[in-house]
């Protein structure tokens, strides 16, 4: 879960006399490192998620501190600490308002506190938390990739997770997410983690198989849905150059079943990408629950092709549109008028095509039992073929 702004406030507020001025909604953000900055030049070189501290030496001109927070938001900083009392006596209201708007935690610390002590302390906490986070994420990754490691992972997590409790997995797919550069993956991961609201449970977040993964433990469905929606809305404000697709797995009981939630989240994410949905829940995607859970796509393609082979072959030979006609036949519940309007053709032509289809497939489409296999073929086509 990392060392967060909340952790810093709870654990060191009295020691360092910290005061939170703005950005309370971003206090759940984990900190990757701490930097002392007195101008904006170096900000573009930061990793993301850093906590920035400034004495204000380089930001005494009117508007310069606001320029700093604009840059911090642009480059996904985790928060800002202003050392007040010498160069900056009071943080301007427009800076406070902007930090609240962008959920960027803004903290002040009095001049008499030695910043070197603060920086060293927080960096050590970041290192320790990162080591713990890596260990936890490895337990989940091992469970996803190799079921024989589940019992071992369960034992490893007993000290920090309720392994008998509820687990749920969220996957996030990002445009151009097939990134091989680990540095870029880490940077994007930091950016995404900035958008977590205060998750009041144990959780782990990491990259796995080109998806960003969030696993939560003992979090209610309502709370999880709220977190996802807020995370999506915040990411659109600060990552609007990328499309994000969220896939939500089912809630499962016991760590032994966390792989089930992961696989279902994977199916939901594929659905979201396929149909350009921002958020997809596995429990809401109907027949695609089954189809997108099939790992062998050749089986799906063969099922589709064998069912529709006679009309596919006819269309290829005669440059016809029987397959498309059958698709609209199901979509518009057999209405020749609606099919004709959709395909810009005469009703009699549609009637002829339907009769041809029935003959080629040897099916009258009179009952649901007759229709269902061919309707399913078009669902499969959504998945395995670019329509």
User: Angle 336-343/322-331 helices, nearest 10 degrees?
Assistant: 130
User: 293 vs 200, 282, 286, CA distance in Å?
Assistant: 31, 10, 12
pLDDT reported for residue 192: 74
Cα separation, 357 vs 338, in Å, equals 18
The three-class DSSP label of residue 170 is strand
**Residue 61 burial class via C-beta count within 10 angstroms: exposed 0-12, middle 13-18, buried 19 and up:** exposed
pLDDT tens digit at each of 387 positions of the chain: 678 898 899 999 999 999 999 999 888 877 888 999 998 888 777 766 889 999 999 999 999 999 999 999 888 888 999 999 999 999 999 999 999 999 899 999 999 999 999 999 999 998 888 888 889 999 999 999 998 999 999 999 998 899 999 999 999 988 765 555 666 666 677 667 766 656 778 889 888 998 999 999 999 988 888 888 888 887 776 666 568 899 999 999 999 999 999 999 999 999 999 888 989 999 999 999 989 988 888 888 999 999 999 999 999 999 999 999 999 999 999 999 999 999 999 999 999 999 999 999 999 999 999 999 999 999 898 888 743
Answer for the pair 23, 8: CB distance below 8 angstroms, yes or no: no
Task: Give 78's contacts (C-beta < 8 A, 6+ positions apart).
Answer: 5, 26, 29, 30, 31, 32, 48, 49, 50, 51, 105, 194
Cα separation, 56 vs 335, in Å, equals 71
Task: Give 243's contacts (C-beta < 8 A, 6+ positions apart).
Answer: 174, 175
Cα separation, 365 vs 369, in Å, equals 8
Residue 96: DSSP 8-state: H
pLDDT reported for residue 195: 66
Cα separation, 24 vs 195, in Å, equals 12
Residue 210: DSSP 8-state: T
């Amino acid at each position: 879960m990392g060392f967060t702004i909340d952790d810093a406030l709870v654990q060191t507020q009295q020691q360092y006399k910290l005061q939170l001025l703005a950005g309370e909604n971003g206090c759940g953000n984990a900190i990757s490192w701490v930097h002392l900055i007195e101008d904006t030049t170096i900000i573009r070189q930061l990793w993301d998620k850093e906590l920035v501290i400034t004495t204000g030496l380089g930001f005494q001109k009117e508007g310069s501190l606001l320029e700093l927070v604009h840059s911090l938001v642009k480059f996904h900083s985790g928060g800002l600490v202003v050392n007040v009392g010498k160069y900056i006596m009071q943080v301007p209201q427009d800076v406070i308002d902007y930090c609240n708007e962008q959920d960027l935690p803004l903290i002040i610390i009095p001049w008499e506190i030695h910043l070197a002590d603060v920086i060293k302390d927080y960096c050590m906490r970041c290192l320790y938390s990162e080591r713990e986070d890596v260990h936890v994420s490895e337990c989940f990754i091992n469970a996803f990739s190799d079921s024989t490691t589940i019992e071992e992972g369960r034992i490893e997590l007993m000290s920090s997770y309720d392994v008998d409790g509820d687990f749920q997995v969220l996957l996030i797919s990002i445009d151009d997410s097939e990134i091989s550069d680990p540095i870029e993956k880490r940077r994007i991961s930091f950016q995404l983690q900035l958008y977590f609201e205060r998750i009041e449970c144990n959780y782990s977040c990491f990259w796995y198989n080109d998806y960003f993964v969030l696993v939560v433990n003992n979090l209610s469905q309502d709370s999880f849905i709220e977190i996802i929606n807020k995370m999506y809305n915040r990411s659109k404000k600060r990552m609007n150059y990328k499309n994000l697709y969220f896939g939500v797995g089912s809630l499962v009981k016991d760590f032994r079943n966390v792989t089930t939630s992961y696989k279902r989240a994977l199916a939901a994410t594929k659905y979201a990408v396929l149909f350009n949905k921002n958020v997809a829940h596995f429990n809401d995607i109907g027949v695609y629950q089954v189809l997108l859970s099939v790992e062998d796509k050749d089986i799906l393609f063969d099922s589709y092709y064998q069912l529709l082979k006679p009309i596919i072959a006819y269309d290829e030979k005669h440059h016809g549109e029987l397959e498309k006609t059958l698709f609209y036949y199901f979509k518009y519940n057999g209405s020749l008028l609606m099919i004709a309007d959709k395909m810009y053709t005469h009703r009699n032509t549609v009637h002829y095509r339907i009769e041809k289809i029935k003959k080629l497939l040897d099916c009258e489409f009179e009952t649901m039992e007759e229709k269902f296999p061919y309707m399913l073929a078009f669902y499969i086509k959504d998945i395995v073929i670019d329509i």
